[in-house]
């Protein structure tokens, strides 16, 4: 998936969060969107994944040389973000089954393999609402990584993870981020050090 931005800006009320972004997110490349707290990283990610409309400029999506309708972009996307809620009444087993009614598994994976990836195979019947914040974060990441989509977007991927969890995240990056457009919003180097390209929100403030 390629995303091309022409003069993109977004404001809330009268405040421009960013403007004048001319940039191409190229297929199969990795990008870090960088900036301090409140600078607009999540806002840009939401503009990129179609959940927020830009206040200015044009956005185009291309997949396998064909233009993609912005309304269909979500079908190409795996997203893990703090503002994305899990369905707390589901058990681990049920939430994996539910998620993969809408997405395909990465080749070679199934429900059991996703639970094994999480290291929570023994908690298949545990309700998500009883998961710790770190377990919930792992679950969001595993669902995103294990879905076979050409676009992976992660916002603050290691929030609530301990050092072991951060190593686990990095192993998922190695296994599952190749050959898909990967975009990470972060201000922690360990989350995005592998990204070949960097975009700093501060460059688009005026």
Ligand X SMILES: Nc1ncnc2c1ncn2[C@@H]1O[C@H](COP(=O)(O)OP(=O)(O)OP(=O)(O)O)[C@@H](O)[C@H]1O
Using CB under 6 A, list all residues that contact ligand X.
12, 17, 35, 37-43, 187
Q: Give least dist CB 138 to ligand X, A.
A: 20
Q: Which is nearer to ligand X, 12 or 98 (CB)?
A: 12
Q: Give least dist CB 81 to ligand X, A.
A: 9
Q: Which is nearer to ligand X, 32 or 68 (CB)?
A: 32
- Whether the CB-CB separation of 124 and 93 falls below 8 Å is answered with yes
What the block records as the tokens of 145 is 């990584």
Q: Give least dist CB 49 to ligand X, A.
A: 13
Strand partners, 151: 77, 181
Q: Which is nearer to ligand X, 149 or 186 (CB)?
A: 186
Q: Which is nearer to ligand X, 42 or 147 (CB)?
A: 42
Instruction: Give the other-Cβ count within 10 Å of 138's Cβ.
Output: 23
Q: Give least dist CB 184 to ligand X, A.
A: 12
Beta strands in the chain (DSSP E): 2-12, 15-25, 30-34, 56-63, 66-68, 77-80, 151-155, 181-186, 197-200
């Amino acid at each position: 998936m390629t995303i091309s931005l022409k003069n993109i800006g977004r404001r809330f009320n009268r405040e421009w969060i960013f403007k004048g972004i001319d940039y191409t997110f190229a297929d199969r490349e990795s990008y870090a969107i960088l900036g301090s707290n409140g600078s607009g990283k999540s806002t840009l990610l939401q503009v990129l994944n179609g959940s927020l409309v830009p206040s200015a400029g044009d956005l185009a999506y291309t997949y396998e040389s064909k233009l993609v309708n912005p309304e269909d972009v979500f079908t190409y996307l795996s997203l893990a973000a703090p503002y994305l809620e899990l369905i707390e009444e589901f058990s681990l087993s049920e939430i994996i089954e539910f998620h993969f009614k809408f997405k395909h598994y990465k080749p070679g994976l199934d429900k059991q393999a996703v639970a094994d990836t999480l290291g929570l195979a023994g908690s298949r019947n545990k309700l998500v609402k009883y998961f710790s914040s770190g377990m919930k974060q792992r679950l969001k990441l595993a669902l995103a990584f294990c879905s076979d989509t050409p676009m992976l977007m992660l916002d603050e991927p290691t929030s609530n993870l301990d050092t072991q969890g951060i190593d686990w995240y990095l192993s998922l990056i190695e296994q599952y981020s190749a050959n898909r457009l990967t975009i990470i919003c972060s201000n922690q180097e360990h989350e995005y050090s592998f990204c070949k390209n960097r975009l700093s929100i501060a460059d688009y403030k005026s």
